[in-house]
Chain A
């Protein structure tokens, strides 16, 4: 639980601020490089959970509907489809909004709620979709280390490591805590 206290703001705090690690991702938005706004968040994100036989996961759609009623997560994508990963025993909760701040608030709220259910260890990562120039990338927040890293999938399990290095340098330069390179693990089936 200590990890989540450091990761996220208190669920009842009125607005997110940069005291929580996840909100630092908002620094990516419309970053200038030589007068050009070339790196941005695209307004889609997902929370990756490692499922087990807890009732929350056995009927996750109902669980999330209940949560939605309670927390009013306006950015959570509904209807809730494609939640389960085919390859791993994991599931994704997808968020969409033009308001990145609101999206982060919702992820923080749902994360705190899931942690309060005693499922903190089941939260793997929050994944934010972004663009650099014309290229899409993911900015992944690893919940175990509270640090971010970029992922640029090229399909067929290939990645553009060079671009990832460049994005990594950029996000580190704007104060986002960067994961060491040896922990830049892939995610094969991100649904956004």
Chain B
């Protein structure tokens, strides 16, 4: 049953590596700026690592708490448990420790946890009611692929630079407000030191935004990789393609709110401002559904099963 020799998408792998390299350059630039500024880079990175460690170890608990997902037993959800168990075996990973359900009409799912052993897969009631078994299998396959690819770990650690740059931005902002970047304390060259700190501040802001873009790009590539891996796990790229079309199509636009909650809010005339916006799509953590579906259909048309 186990399929470990999964065909690779070399182009995608190269793109991920290139993004990783650019992130490395951003890390070095940030380190350089820290040295110039006179701030202790070790101190700043230790704080950043501490924050990321907390996020890494607590992510599953935090996500479950914020989404109000409730763990369900095999007796409560036998079909879902059986499906996850079967696909985990095919994927060559242990069955996730927690299977959870969120009482939410919007069809959605997520996987979290620092390792396959500590993983959680959660689905919404909307997903269970809207998708047929094959489509649900496609989505579960995608989520298990995230676990197999250790995406929580990769993305959490990749985002360390954003955490550190964000922390620095705040620190420099408060320093500028209350201490004039400490210029008055620097003997002699107060003005020059202040100008230098301004350069560092602007540099950190630029690195922060570039890192955000790179992290989002990496996340989109990881999503495409999980689509591919999940499709191979389930044996049918069309299952996930059909689920994605259903989830993000017209059904997904149907609101959950009561008409009386929105009748005074001019909601009937609002067009989502960021839809189709180029910047919004650059910052998006998921690739556009059309691209995902097209890639899956391409996979289906090729003799993709020969890749196994």
Contact = CB atoms under 8 A, between A and B. Distances in A.
Interface string B250-267: 110111111111110001
Contacts of A165: 250-251
Contact of B255 (A144, A157, A185): A185
Interface string A162-192: 1011000000000000001111111110000
Contacts of A182: 253-255
Nearest to A186: B258
Nearest to A179: B268
A16 interface: no
A124 B259 CA distance: 8
B255 A186 contact: yes
B289 interface: no
A180 B269 CA distance: 10
Contacts of A87: 258
Nearest to B257: A185
B130 interface: yes
Contact of B251 (A85, A154, A157, A162): A162
B129 interface: yes
A144 B263 contact: yes
A145 B251 CA distance: 20
B260 A88 contact: yes
B105 interface: yes
B103 to A, nearest CB: 9
A90 B260 contact: yes
Interface residues of B, number: 19
A188 B258 CA distance: 7
Contacts of A48: 259-260
B258 A184 contact: no
A157 B251 CA distance: 16
Contacts of A160: 129
Chief secondary structure at chain A's binding surface: mixed
A181 B261 CA distance: 17
Given A157-B105, A158-B125, A161-B130, A185 B251 contact: no
Q: Which of A142, A158, A186 has the most chain B CB atoms closer than 10 A to its own CB?
A: A186
A125 interface: yes
Nearest to A125: B259
A182 B254 CA distance: 5
A144 B253 CA distance: 19
Contacts of B263: 50, 124, 144
Nearest to A160: B129
Given A144-B268, A161-B130, A187 B259 contact: yes
A165 B251 CA distance: 7
B261 to A, nearest CB: 8
Nearest to B246: A162
Q: Which of B130, B250, B257, B259 has the most chain A CB atoms closer than 10 A to its own CB?
A: B259
A160 B130 CA distance: 8
B124 to A, nearest CB: 11
B79 to A, nearest CB: 18
The 5 closest A-B pairs by CB, nearest first: A185-B259, A181-B253, A88-B260, A182-B253, A161-B251
Interface of B: 105, 125, 129-130, 250-251, 253-263, 267-268
Interface of A: 48, 50, 85, 87-88, 90, 124-125, 140, 142, 144-145, 154, 157-162, 164-165, 180-188
Given A48-B260, A180-B253, A188-B258, 10 more contacts: A50-B263, A124-B263, A142-B259, A142-B268, A158-B105, A158-B125, A161-B254, A164-B254, A181-B251, A181-B253
